[in-house]
Structure 1
């Protein structure tokens, strides 16, 4: 497939999965706890499963030799050169609460590197997409190029994290609290939207822990395409998830790594 065709295919994935999800949003639907009564509530909805089935079927039909890793139905052919990494609803808690800060994450890796990503918010009709070299936002008012903003120091930064309670108590939580105490402002609960707002120049820094590959792979080409940087806390590749830091300015990223690794 050409680059243009691949972009069109990812658009089709977004459209079809969005059509599967939207009937469930702000409606009554089935809800399961993947933690099965454990300490941390880990919800999954009928919408998550319906959307991932759509995505997997479309990928299987179009790229039968590609691998797939999805949140709801696991892994297929992870040894393939190209692997699709899917999170049908990133921000399930927001989805359950009727808040539009969730999105469908569609990422593609080649040789283990995140090369393309799309975040689709069908309720708001917004699509953020990138290939590591450029990033754009498409919505009802048109399309625009995404660029991160300049922000050199922590004390000037707006920081986002999904939930500060997700950091493991002890050293990990202490490191996060130290960096939050250094920034201008912190916001919680945006999930994948935080990374897209970083790419759009609204947020400067995202610090997370406990991520899975499907939480981050699609977002890496968007942030990097807008001029930002995404790594683990120790500065390594973030494609496997774990403890992740994303910044719009490389100087801020360096300052964040220094704060997270005292």
Structure 2
């Protein structure tokens, strides 16, 4: 097989399939060893053999099919390329959820160019759901078949459903800004990791607000949400594909309203 016989979308799906195969044997299995990447700093950032196996599987496919592209993965770092394109990988976004047995973690795959991601996949292997966006595609595949992704038209914060992963989001100042939005919405939910962004792209929720993100946490969600009609920026309205504080909204009107509230605390 030629190294360039697959389209980028085909390759992304092949990578997601390979990550599923690597991860699922470990999910909800007793005795799963977990290392703590922040042990010396007194924090808790878990990583498992499943994280490492999934990223290694995806990297093998990239070495075969896109040897000139760069790679930036959570577990094995950055590998420069010569094409000007980088595959940004988070083999298990939500490892805390993974080791807890919740099906809210996911595999994140993005293809990024100089100005940010042009294509992304959010895959939930256990449920069998995949959300793909970019390169003319905005699509869900899963137990309910194949459907187009489209964000909601919710215009008022008072009608919005808001997600974040951690109640103690970011710094105290970050939490105050988040609370300024949370106090205006209809419903706030916590702990969904990347699955919250997938639900936004699928038209189930309206806002995701997070802080302290890395590039590999947010690039795939950006591509999927934007392809579905949503908006993703930092808390000042600028690009967020390098990580930091992210505001994802179902549409431009709701994004503007949330952005104004985030900036109202100073």
| TM-score interval, smaller chain | over 0.9
Aligned residues: 260
Contact 1:90 1:103 (C-alpha < 8 Å) held by counterparts: yes
Give, in angstroms, the shift of residue 133 of structure 1. Answer: 4.7
Give, in angstroms, the shift of residue 95 of structure 1. Answer: 0.4
Give, in angstroms, the shift of residue 62 of structure 1. Answer: 1.0
Give, in angstroms, the shift of residue 161 of structure 1. Answer: 0.2
**Are 2:162 and 1:149 equivalent residues in the alignment?**
no
Give, in angstroms, the shift of residue 166 of structure 1. Answer: 3.2
Q: Distance between the aligned counterparts of 1:58 and 1:132, measured in 2? A: 20
Q: Pairwise mapping of residues 1-262 of structure 1 onto structure 2 (< 5 A)?
A: 1=4, 5-27=7-29, 28-77=31-80, 80-131=83-134, 133-169=136-172, 171-262=173-264
* Aligned Cα root-mean-square deviation (Å): 1.5
Shift of the 39–252 alpha-carbon distance from structure 1 to 2, 3 Å rule, reads farther
Write the deviation string for residues 188-239 of structure 1: whole angstroms up to 9, x where unpaired: 0111110110011110000000000000101111101110000000111111
Give, in angstroms, the shift of residue 37 of structure 1. Answer: 4.4
Return 5+ residue gaps in structure 1 as ranges: none
Contact 1:70 1:86 (C-alpha < 8 Å) held by counterparts: yes
Give, in angstroms, the shift of residue 40 of structure 1. Answer: 2.9
Shift of the 196–132 alpha-carbon distance from structure 1 to 2, 3 Å rule, reads farther
The 3-state SS of whatever aligns with 1:166 is coil
Give, in angstroms, the shift of residue 60 of structure 1. Answer: 1.2
The 3-state SS of whatever aligns with 1:238 is coil
Give, in angstroms, the shift of residue 141 of structure 1. Answer: 3.4
Q: Distance between the aligned counterparts of 2:137 and 2:234, measured in 1? A: 22
Write the deviation string for residues 127-178 of structure 1: whole angstroms up to 9, x where unpaired: 1000065411011332000111111111111000001213212x21111111
Q: Distance between the aligned counterparts of 1:79 and 1:204, measured in 2? A: 38
Shift of the 150–9 alpha-carbon distance from structure 1 to 2, 3 Å rule, reads same
Shift of the 79–36 alpha-carbon distance from structure 1 to 2, 3 Å rule, reads farther
Q: Distance between the aligned counterparts of 1:132 and 1:198, measured in 2? A: 19
Return 5+ residue gaps in structure 2 as ranges: none
TM-score normalised to the size of structure 2?
0.94
Q: Distance between the aligned counterparts of 2:135 and 2:229, measured in 1? A: 8
Write the deviation string for residues 96-142 of structure 1: whole angstroms up to 9, x where unpaired: 01010010001000224210000111111111000065411011332
Contact 1:118 1:130 (C-alpha < 8 Å) held by counterparts: yes
